[in-house]
Chain A
Amino acid sequence: MRHSAWTSPFPGGKSESTELPQSLNRSQTDKRDFVAEISCTPAIFSAKEREAGARRVSLLSLSPRGLLCRGSQEMDETVAEFFRRTILKIPITEMMTVLKAWDFLSENHLQTVNFRQRKESLVQDLVLLCEEKRASLNDAALLDIIYTQFHRHQKVWDVFQMSRRPGEDIDLFDMEQFKSSFKKILQRALKNVTVSFRDTEENAVWIRIAWGTQYRKPNQYKPVYVVYYSQTPYAFVASSLLKSNLPLLGQALTVASKHHQIVKMDLRSRYLDSLKAIVFKQYNQNFETHNSTTPLQERSLGLDINMDSRIIHENRVEKERIQRVTQEIFGDYPQPRLEFAQYKLETKFKSDLNRGILAEREEPLRCLVKFSSPHLLEALKSLAPAGIADAPLSPLLTCIPNKGMNYFKIRDK
Chain B
Amino acid sequence: MSVLRPLDKLPGLNTATILLVGTDDVLLQQLAGSMLKEDCASELKVHLAKSLPLPSNVNRPRIDLIVFVVNLHSQHSLRNVEESLHHVDASFFLGKVSFLATGAGQESHCSVHRNTVVKLAHTYRSPLLFCDLEVEGFRTTMAQRLVRMLQICAGHVPGVSALNLLSLLRSTENPSLEDL
Distance in Å from the Cβ of B171 to the closest Cβ of chain A?
A: 29
Within B1-42, the residues touching A (CB, 8 Å) are: 19, 22-26, 29, 32-33, 36
Q: How large is the interface on B (under 10, 10 to 19, 20 to 34, 35 or more residues)?
A: 20 to 34
CA of A308 to CA of B60, assembled, Å: 17
Asked if A311 and B58 make an inter-chain contact with CB atoms under 8 angstroms apart, the answer reads no
A387 at the interface (CB under 8 A from B): yes
Distance in Å from the Cβ of A387 to the closest Cβ of chain B?
A: 4
Distance in Å from the Cβ of B27 to the closest Cβ of chain A?
A: 9
Distance in Å from the Cβ of B69 to the closest Cβ of chain A?
A: 11
CA of A302 to CA of B45, assembled, Å: 20
CA of A312 to CA of B47, assembled, Å: 5
Within A275-319, the residues touching B (CB, 8 Å) are: 302, 308, 310-315, 317-319
B161 at the interface (CB under 8 A from A): no
Distance in Å from the Cβ of A158 to the closest Cβ of chain B?
A: 33
CA of A388 to CA of B79, assembled, Å: 12
Asked if A311 and B25 make an inter-chain contact with CB atoms under 8 angstroms apart, the answer reads no
Within A361-409, the residues touching B (CB, 8 Å) are: 385-389
Asked if B45 and A310 make an inter-chain contact with CB atoms under 8 angstroms apart, the answer reads yes
- Give the residues in chain B near A315, CB-CB below 8 Å: 48-51, 55
CA of A308 to CA of B25, assembled, Å: 15
- Give the residues in chain A near B88, CB-CB below 8 Å: none
Known contacts A311-B33, A311-B36, A386-B25; A317/B55 CB under 8 A: yes
- Give the residues in chain B near A387, CB-CB below 8 Å: 22-25, 50, 77
- B19, B46, B48, B74: the one contacting A388 at CB < 8 Å is B74
Interface centre among B22, B25, B48, B55 (most CB of A within 10 A): B25
CA of A321 to CA of B60, assembled, Å: 22
Distance in Å from the Cβ of A22 to the closest Cβ of chain B?
A: 71
Quick one: closest B residue to A382, CB to CB? B26
B54 at the interface (CB under 8 A from A): yes
B118 at the interface (CB under 8 A from A): no
Asked if B49 and A386 make an inter-chain contact with CB atoms under 8 angstroms apart, the answer reads no
Distance in Å from the Cβ of A381 to the closest Cβ of chain B?
A: 15
CA of A386 to CA of B50, assembled, Å: 11
Interface centre among B50, B51, B58 (most CB of A within 10 A): B50
CA of A385 to CA of B46, assembled, Å: 20
- Give the residues in chain B near A313, CB-CB below 8 Å: 47-49
CA of A385 to CA of B51, assembled, Å: 14
Asked if B24 and A311 make an inter-chain contact with CB atoms under 8 angstroms apart, the answer reads no
Quick one: closest A residue to B53, CB to CB? A314
Known contacts A315-B55, A387-B25; A308/B49 CB under 8 A: no
- Give the residues in chain A near B24, CB-CB below 8 Å: 386-387
- Give the residues in chain B near A302, CB-CB below 8 Å: 26
Distance in Å from the Cβ of B45 to the closest Cβ of chain A?
A: 5
CA of A315 to CA of B80, assembled, Å: 14
B170 at the interface (CB under 8 A from A): no
B121 at the interface (CB under 8 A from A): no
Distance in Å from the Cβ of B5 to the closest Cβ of chain A?
A: 16
Distance in Å from the Cβ of A324 to the closest Cβ of chain B?
A: 16
- Give the residues in chain B near A312, CB-CB below 8 Å: 45-48, 60
B109 at the interface (CB under 8 A from A): no
Interface centre among B48, B51, B77 (most CB of A within 10 A): B48
Quick one: closest A residue to B46, CB to CB? A311
Asked if B54 and A314 make an inter-chain contact with CB atoms under 8 angstroms apart, the answer reads yes
Asked if B23 and A311 make an inter-chain contact with CB atoms under 8 angstroms apart, the answer reads no
Distance in Å from the Cβ of B109 to the closest Cβ of chain A?
A: 12
Distance in Å from the Cβ of A243 to the closest Cβ of chain B?
A: 35
- A314, A385, A386: the one contacting B48 at CB < 8 Å is A314
- Give the residues in chain A near B48, CB-CB below 8 Å: 311-315
- Give the residues in chain A near B76, CB-CB below 8 Å: 388-389
B104 at the interface (CB under 8 A from A): no
B112 at the interface (CB under 8 A from A): no
Asked if B49 and A314 make an inter-chain contact with CB atoms under 8 angstroms apart, the answer reads yes
Quick one: closest A residue to B24, CB to CB? A387
CA of A388 to CA of B60, assembled, Å: 27
B44 at the interface (CB under 8 A from A): yes
Contact with B along A315-339 (1 / 0, CB 8 A): 1011100000000000000000000
Asked if B49 and A310 make an inter-chain contact with CB atoms under 8 angstroms apart, the answer reads no
Asked if B44 and A310 make an inter-chain contact with CB atoms under 8 angstroms apart, the answer reads yes
CA of A311 to CA of B32, assembled, Å: 7
Closest 6 CB pairs of A and B: A314-B49, A387-B23, A315-B50, A311-B32, A312-B47, A311-B46
15 residue pairs from A and B, CB less than 8 Å apart: A302-B26, A308-B32, A308-B36, A310-B43, A310-B44, A311-B29, A311-B32, A311-B33, A311-B46, A314-B47, A315-B48, A319-B25, A385-B25, A386-B26, A387-B25
B interface residues with partner A (beta carbon < 8 Å): 19, 22-26, 29, 32-33, 36, 43-51, 54-55, 58, 60, 74, 76-77
Taking A311-B46, A313-B47, A313-B48 as known contacts, 6 extra A-B pairs with beta carbons closer than 8 A to each other, sorted by chain A number, are A311-B32, A311-B47, A312-B60, A314-B47, A319-B25, A388-B23
